[in-house]
Amino acid sequence: MDVDNAQSPVIEARGLGVRFGPKVVLEDLDFDIRRGEILAIVGGSGSGKSTLLRQITMLQRPSAGSLRLFGQDALALDEGERLRVRRRFGILFQNGALFGDRTVLENIATPLWEHTELDHGSIEEIATIKLQLAGLRPEDGLLYPSQLSGGMRKRAAVARAIALDPELLFLDEPTSGLDPLSAEALDELVLQLKATLEPTIVLVTHDMDSLWRVADRVMLLGDAHILASGTMTELAASGEPLVRRFFQGPRGRAAMSGATGQK
């Protein structure tokens, strides 16, 4: 039953639902995330994007439905199997979640110390490669998280998320709180990562420009359901009123004309 090959979806959700007490946050979600794609999850504030991310990263158990990660039933895994699945993905948390008492390089090296038998020197060297891949300089590795600017913190957190070359990378609002130039550079970084390490990337974002530049496919959440899913071009052309409202506001249109080169 445990099929895990190049063709099967990395994540398969069927009838996924989450409720907190009487409050229904997500209901009856069906979706697949295919190997190697960049899927963006979008939706207004409070539409359950981050909650959904917590479900598919196994940080929280859904109240209904089934979830398969890499072809395995994620809800039936024991502790050891769950750890093995977790090792295959990396997460960028919204606020970075860097460990404050460790330097940037030590932060990136943490997963390597935990999950490999490499010697000290090799771990430092590999962590430095990730550091540079995320667009930081080797000397930045000596800094502590409290000494970093917002953009650098995101980059350092990305570097930690890709420390073990994950097959699946979750990015929770990678460009939020960044200036336009840093946000653009981070989009660039995501594309570069995809080209070099070829992970499947799940992106939660509000950033219209990111959606146009980075996402292969977009899933719009609203009213606890998936309102629409498709490429940006498809969604932008959609006649559905809720979808139109989201993608064709002034910001959406500006991002679209920027991306498609129209005036």
Comparing CB distances to other proteins, the nearer of 82 and 225 is 82
CA atoms within a 13 Å half-sphere pointing along the CA-CB vector of 256: 16
Q: What is the distance between the alpha carbons of residues 57 and 74, in angstroms, rounded to a whole number? A: 9
Residue type, 203: L
Comparing CB distances to other proteins, the nearer of 20 and 78 is 78
Comparing CB distances to other proteins, the nearer of 145 and 174 is 145
Comparing CB distances to other proteins, the nearer of 16 and 67 is 67
Q: What is the distance between the alpha carbons of residues 238 and 242, in angstroms, rounded to a whole number? A: 10
Report the nearest approach of other proteins to the CB of residue 261 (Å): 29
Q: Taking CA 108 as the corner, what is the angle to CA 216 and CA 127, rounded to the nearest 5 degrees?
A: 95
Report the nearest approach of other proteins to the CB of residue 39 (Å): 22
Task: Report the interface residues with other proteins, using CB under 8 A.
Answer: 2, 4, 72, 81, 84, 87, 99-101, 112, 115-122, 124-126, 128-130, 132-133, 138-139, 141-142, 144-146, 164-165, 195-198
Strand 217-222 relative to strand 225-230: parallel, antiparallel, unpaired?
Answer: antiparallel
Report the nearest approach of other proteins to the CB of residue 9 (Å): 17
CA atoms within a 13 Å half-sphere pointing along the CA-CB vector of 85: 24
Report the nearest approach of other proteins to the CB of residue 31 (Å): 24
